[in-house]
Chains A and B, each alone.
Chain A
Amino acid sequence: MTMGEARFEPLSHFEVRPILELTLFGMDISISNSVLWIWLSVFSALLFLLFASRRGLFIPDRMQVLLEMLYLLIRNMVEKNIGKEGMAYFPLLFTLFVFVLFCNLMGLVPGGFAPTSQIIVTGSLAVTVFIFTIILRVVRHKWGFFRAFAPEGLPPILLLLMIPVEIISFIARPISLAVRLFANMTAGHTVLAVIAFFGLVSPWFVAWAPLGFSIVFTAMEIFIAIIQAYIFTILSCVYIDDALAYE
């Protein structure tokens, strides 16, 4: 994008730049800006969670109330979508929500970077959940896992159509999970960057409009960050329930 003399690249914000080159058994494990922001997200989440739960008060203080609300939100989600049996997977789902939420929110810190705006980060999480549900389904239903792709009672001719459809819809799950989160984060931050750029290159008497809009949009981005974390977790819940309940 060109505006006067300035050349502007709103997607440059999403570039991954290596900071420290590292390898492990020939595998690249370099530390990049994205990795640093993942660590910062994890550190912030731990700081909040450990601080809020440090005293374990019977009558909770404000931070503990916030933590308990978060806990109850996820517990209700698990109980509603999976049932009592789902409490075994509660730590995984709670961690997933907290991880995605803090990664999303990091993008709203000035100068920050949202690790969830990277397809590979959201993809890693989605594939982790996907592999976990496959393992769960195989452990629970053994060879019944494959019967899920061939619904019972269908004429053989329709099976030719249904089996590919079922396989595609099954494989599409992690893709949709990853792309939804990545696309939301990318779009939100790009729009924010474009609006801010308009403000930067406009004359002072016009610049207030993009500035005001960027403030409103930031508020909306906070909301989107929470909603997207919630959606990612609830869909993971649904997939786990699907793996458990399949007959």
Chain B
Amino acid sequence: MHWLLRLSLWGRVKLLSPVYAAEIKGLPQFDVTHFTSEVFWTVISFLFLLFILQRFVLPRIYRVLDQRVSKIRDELSEAELIREESVIVLETYQSELRGLENEAQKILEEARSKAVCFHDDAIKKIEAELKQKKLLFRGEMEFAKEQALEEVRSLSVEIAMDVTEKLMINTLNQSDIEKEVESAIKELNDRKN
């Protein structure tokens, strides 16, 4: 550890002999012996540094910073132009979109009205068809009904004639009459089938 401390002390402090220590009075900085040379070299060094900085270093920094500023300014103005263009393009697109929306709305309205028309026509058509079918069906029913009634009437006549015929030929008891009616109906059914 002491070598580190010796390093940090190097050139900083002096371990003095008692005689030399007694010679030093006050701060050594106030010893005027070398003031002239100190002033001279301080001013010369300062002016030399000023000259080099002003001649070589500062112009380079000015140039770099100016270039950067002008490039940033150019890019900003370019970005502003692009932004303005994009606003115009956006407005164009928006107006086109609005036109398309209107057109779509119109087409939709037309389609809706057409659909309503088709719907009404179809209903009317179906209703007419139904009406026609209903009339046809009613006619058929009437015809079938009349036919059935006619059939029933003719059958009743036949049965009545058969029953009368048999009554006239034979004196029949109750069970025979029923049997005869049954056989007559069966016969009729067989004939029908």
CA distance A46 to B52 in the complex (A): 8
Tell whether B191 is near chain A: CB-to-CB under 8 Å.
Answer: no
Given contacts A16-B31, A58-B71, contact A125 B61 (CB under 8 A): no
Instruction: Determine if A15 is an interface residue (Cβ-Cβ < 8 Å).
Output: yes
Question: Is A226 an interface residue when CB atoms closer than 8 A count as contact?
Answer: no
Q: Are B39 and A120 interface neighbours, CB within 8 A?
A: yes
Using a Cβ–Cβ cut-off of 8 Å, how many residues does chain B contribute to the interface with A? 54
B46 touches A125 (CB 8 A): yes
* Nearest-Cβ distance from residue B161 to partner chain A, whole angstroms: 129
B33 contacts which chain A residues (CB < 8 A)?
A: 16
Decide if B53 touches A91 in the complex (CB within 8 Å): yes
Contact of B34 among A30, A115, A189 (CB under 8 A): A30
**A-binding segment of B8-16, B85-93, B123-131, B165-173:** B8-16
Interface contact B1-A7, CB-CB below 8 Å: no
Interface residues in A, total, Cβ within 8 A: 75
User: Which A residues are in CB contact (< 8 Å) with B1?
Assistant: 199, 204, 207-208, 211
Report how far A13 CA is from B27 CA in the complex, Å.
10
Report yes or no: A42 in contact with B60, Cβ–Cβ below 8 A: no
Kindly provide the distance from the CB of B126 to the nearest chain A CB, expressed in whole angstroms. Answer: 81
Q: Which residues of B contact A32 (CB under 8 A)?
A: 34, 37-38
Contacts of B10 in A (CB 8 A): 110-111
CB contact list, A9-54 vs B, under 8 A: 9-16, 18, 22, 24, 27-32, 34-35, 38-39, 41-42, 45-46, 49-50, 53
- In the bound assembly, the distance between CA atoms of A174 and B164 in angstroms comes to 165
A63-100 interface bits toward B, Cβ cutoff 8 Å, 1 = contact, 0 = none:
01001100100000000000000000011101110110
Is residue A124 contacting chain B, with contact meaning CB distance below 8 A? yes
The residue of chain B having its C-beta at the shortest distance from the C-beta of A35 within the complex is B41
Q: Considering only CB atoms, which chain A residue lies closest to B10 in the complex?
A: A111
C-alpha gap A56/B32 in the complex (Å): 45
The verdict on A121 contacting chain B, using a C-beta distance below 8 Å, is: yes
A6 touching B64 by the CB < 8 A rule? no
Dominant secondary structure of chain B at its interface with chain A: helix
- Whole-angstrom distance between the alpha carbons of A54 and B104 in the complex? 66
Residues A164-209 near B (CB distance < 8 A): 182, 186, 189, 192-193, 196-197, 199-200, 204, 207-208
In the complex, whether B77 has a CB less than 8 A from a CB of chain A is no
Q: Report whether A204 and B2 are in contact in the complex, using a CB–CB cutoff of 8 Å.
A: yes
Given the interface pairs A42-B48, A91-B54, A211-B1, the reply to whether A6 lies near B15 with Cβ below 8 Å is yes
Query: Is residue A119 contacting chain B, with contact meaning CB distance below 8 A?
Result: yes
Cβ of B38 and Cβ of A196 under 8 Å apart? no
Cβ-neighbour of B13 out of A53, A64, A95, A196 (below 8 A): A196
Residues of B within 8 A of A46 (CB): 49, 52
Given contacts A13-B12, A58-B71, A200-B9, contact A30 B63 (CB under 8 A): no
Measured in the bound complex, the distance between the Cα atoms of B13 and A9 in whole Å is 6
In B13-44, the 8 Å CB interface with A consists of: 13-18, 21, 24, 27-31, 33-43
Bound Cα distance A162, B58 (Å) = 43
Give 30 pairs: A residue, B residue, CB < 8 Å, sorted on A: A8-B16, A9-B24, A11-B24, A14-B27, A16-B34, A30-B34, A34-B34, A46-B52, A49-B57, A50-B57, A53-B57, A64-B64, A68-B64, A71-B61, A90-B58, A91-B58, A95-B54, A99-B45, A99-B46, A110-B7, A110-B8, A112-B11, A120-B39, A124-B42, A193-B13, A196-B5, A199-B2, A207-B1, A211-B8, A214-B5
